[in-house]
Structure 1
Amino acid sequence: MSFPVRAITLDLDDTLWPFAPIGARIERVLDHWLRQHCPRTAARFPIPEMRALREQVFAENASLLHDLTGLRKLSLVRAMELSGDDPAHAEAAFEVFYAERNRVEFYDDAEHALERLAARVPVVALSNGNADLRVIGIDHHFAFSLGAREHGAAKPEPSIFHAACDRLGLPREQVLHVGDHVDMDVAGACRAGLRSCWLNRPDDADEVASWPHADIRPDLEFTTLAALADWLDTSHAATAAPTLESA
């Protein structure tokens, strides 16, 4: 399939890097910090209990699901208050969390593919997460970043997709959204009027998922970001090729 792409909006977690290893490392490092600075919190909320408390806080504050930073801080304050530690430590604990959150290990193809995409069209980071592109060191590849916290609503809400297109100054059908999540990324983009690309990376067993919806489908599906970069190169080359009239 070929269609005009004048810009790309790009998901981050599980698109450029896997998030599961980051999440596991955050839990270990934060637990170690709490044992040193907030021992009562660490004793009452070891990793599984801290995870359960965080999920409870998230569930109780559904109106803040676009603000993962705020929810993380709220979870830390709640844990410290319940344990008898000074909740003023929550800010320092969050800094520990955030440093680890921005230590990412890219998928093997991702960095070079991102560079190739950005050389073709403007690329916008469109994420529900709270990664810092400058700290990670890839902000120079992006025209801008639009996060759910900044916008006030998270994917798959159409408004965040529309805001990115408006800021780009482009019609929605000329913007391609790329991401791994079936509903938040692909279905969300389709329903917002953008083109969509499902990045369906193989799992640990080298198997890819099957598309689950009958009423909506992605415009493109690839197993690597490099394959999307190849498609974009070919698409742009075809567009730029001279016709008989112009030759």
Structure 2
Amino acid sequence: MKFYRPLRPFKAISFDLDDTLYDNHPIIIKAEADFLVYLRTTYQQLAELDARKWGLYRDLLVKENPALQHDVSLWRKEIIQRIMVVYGIAMVNAIKYADSALQVFLQLRSDFTVPEKSIKLLQQLALHYPVIALTNGNVNVEQIGLHDKFKFVIKAGNGLRSKPHLDMFQQAASKLDIKVEDILHVGDHLISDVYGAQNNKAQAVWFNPNHTKLDRAKLLPTLEMTDLQDLLTIL
């Protein structure tokens, strides 16, 4: 554990989800691959769709509408619709199929078990502070068994901009009836989590299990941890 700033008193702990409480990288790779198989085998018009073509449409859509990056589920649904129409599926059907396909993806990307170590940590922390989650992602917290481990979960989208923007921190503070600066945010990402918290006056714990260098940091975290269990030592 390494301190970069003095740790101020705090009144709540917020967690990022993906790559903080579980290793999301292999999960999302498998989900993406399985989802493409689903699309190719369910819709004959998409039989030639591959990861490269998917990526091209993904990047194109966010260039056309940058706001989509704040709602990853809507972004994915728009990609599916666009691809389906381009590949010859009527728009009226593409809209309907995209809704169904999105639900398939959400099930695939949430098909894993959160490490017991993370669950026990959340339960221990909740004995001392309100514990919440702020995520840019779209994991189904009920499917992965985290729905009852947080006081509440806030996801980007539906008008809330993703971290590092203030929106989710501000909504969390309002729901808790505290100030944003009273939140200690825990996350792995140097921009969305560390910069997002520090730039918005919250404190940031940088979870860095891979011993990554701080080269990409815009602001220093309050402290750095390679093991989330160290959170128990600062209560």
Q: TM-score range by the shorter chain?
A: 0.7 to 0.9
Point out which structure has higher relative CO (alpha carbons under 8 A, 6+ apart): 2
- Distance in structure 2 (CA, Å) of the matches to 1:212 and 1:149: 29
Are residue 58 (structure 1) and residue 62 (structure 2) matched? Answer: yes
1:42-101 Cα shifts (integer Å, max 9, x gaps) = 31x212221332222223221122111111000001111111134132222112101011
Show structure 1 runs of 5+ residues with no match: 203-207, 236-247
Are residue 211 (structure 1) and residue 214 (structure 2) matched? Answer: yes
Aligned ranges 1:71-220 → 2 under 5 Å: 71-85=75-89, 86-87=93-94, 88-106=96-114, 109-202=117-210, 208-212=211-215, 216-220=219-223
* One-letter amino acid matched to 1:224: D
Q: 2:9 aligned to 4, 7, 13, which one? A: 4
Q: 1:13 aligned to 18, 22, 39, which one? A: 18
* One-letter amino acid matched to 1:15: T
Cα-Cα RMSD: 2.0
Deviation at residue 32 of structure 1 after TM alignment: 1.9
- Distance in structure 1 (CA, Å) of the matches to 2:79 and 2:126: 37
- Distance in structure 2 (CA, Å) of the matches to 1:214 and 1:57: 28
- Distance in structure 1 (CA, Å) of the matches to 2:219 and 2:227: 21
Show structure 2 runs of 5+ residues with no match: 1-5
Distance 1:129 1:191, change over 3 A: same
- Using the size of structure 2 for normalisation, the TM-score is 0.88
* One-letter amino acid matched to 1:195: Q
- Distance in structure 2 (CA, Å) of the matches to 1:149 and 1:215: 24
Deviation at residue 38 of structure 1 after TM alignment: 0.8
* One-letter amino acid matched to 1:220: L
Secondary structure in structure 1 of the residue aligned to 2:36:
helix
* One-letter amino acid matched to 2:53: E
More displaced stretch, 170-179 vs 9-18: 170-179
Distance 1:128 1:78, change over 3 A: same
- Residue in 1 that maps onto 2:72: 68
- Distance in structure 2 (CA, Å) of the matches to 1:213 and 1:91: 37
Are residue 49 (structure 1) and residue 53 (structure 2) matched? Answer: yes
Question: Aligned pair count?
Answer: 226
1:200·1:221 contact (CA, 8 Å) conserved in 2?
A: yes
Deviation at residue 143 of structure 1 after TM alignment: 0.7
Secondary structure in structure 2 of the residue aligned to 1:125:
strand
2:7·2:222 contact (CA, 8 Å) conserved in 1?
A: no
2:191·2:218 contact (CA, 8 Å) conserved in 1?
A: no
Structure showing the higher helix proportion among its residues:
1
Secondary structure in structure 2 of the residue aligned to 1:126:
strand
Structure whose CA Rg is larger: 1
- Residue in 2 that maps onto 1:223: 226
- Distance in structure 1 (CA, Å) of the matches to 2:98 and 2:85: 10
- Residue in 2 that maps onto 1:245: none
Percent of residue pairs bearing the same amino acid type: 31
- Using the size of structure 1 for normalisation, the TM-score is 0.84
* One-letter amino acid matched to 2:12: A
* One-letter amino acid matched to 1:210: K
